[in-house]
Chains A and B, each alone.
Chain A
Amino acid sequence: MSDTPLNRAASATPPSVARKIRGLSDRAIAWIFVGPTIFLLLAINIFPLIWTINLSFTNFRANRPNREVEYVGLRNYERILNDSDIWLNMQATAHFLFWTIFFQVLIGFTLAYLINKKFKGNDLWTTIIVLPMMLSPAVVGNFWKFLYQPQIGLFNYIVAFFTGKEPSSFEMLGSVDLAPWSIVIVDTWMWTPFVMLICLAGLRSIPDYIYEAAEVDRASKLRQFFTITIPMILPFLMLAVLFRGIENFKMFDLVVQLTGRGPGSTTELTSINLKREAFEKWRTGYASAYAIILFVTVFGLASIYVKALNKVKER
Chain B
Amino acid sequence: MRNFVSGLLCLRRGPWEIVATVLIALGVFMLMQPFVMWAFTYSFITTLVGTVMFIIVSHFPE
Contacts and interface: CB of A to CB of B under 8 A. Distances in A.
Interface of A: 77, 81-82, 84, 87, 90-91, 93-94, 293, 296-297, 299-301, 303-304, 307
B54 interface: yes
Contact of B24 (A87, A90, A303): A303
A77 B44 contact: yes
A100 B39 CA distance: 25
Interface string B1-43: 0000000000000000100110011011001111001001111
29 contacts: A81-B40, A81-B43, A81-B44, A82-B37, A87-B37, A90-B31, A90-B32, A90-B40, A91-B33, A91-B34, A94-B32, A296-B44, A296-B47, A296-B51, A297-B47, A299-B51, A300-B24, A300-B28, A300-B47, A300-B50, A300-B51, A300-B54, A303-B24, A303-B51, A303-B54, A303-B55, A304-B20, A304-B21, A307-B58
Query: Do most interface residues of chain A lie in helix, strand or loop, or is the interface mixed?
Result: helix
Nearest to A301: B28
A77 B43 CA distance: 11
B40 A304 contact: no
B32 A91 contact: yes
Contacts, number: 52
Given A77-B44, A304-B25, A297 B31 contact: yes
A300 B32 CA distance: 14
A270 B54 CA distance: 25
A238 B37 CA distance: 31
Given A77-B44, A84-B37, A307-B17, A297 B54 contact: no
Given A84-B37, A301-B24, A303-B51, 10 more contacts: A81-B44, A87-B37, A90-B40, A94-B32, A296-B47, A297-B44, A300-B48, A300-B54, A304-B21, A307-B17
A81 B25 CA distance: 18
Contacts of A81: 40-44
Contact of A87 (B17, B40, B51): B40
A81 B45 CA distance: 10
Contacts of B58: 307
A297 B37 contact: no
A109 to B, nearest CB: 24
Nearest to A94: B32
Contacts of B24: 300-301, 303-304
A304 B54 contact: yes
B54 to A, nearest CB: 5
Contacts of B51: 296, 299-300, 303
Contacts of A90: 31-32, 40
Contacts of B41: 81-82
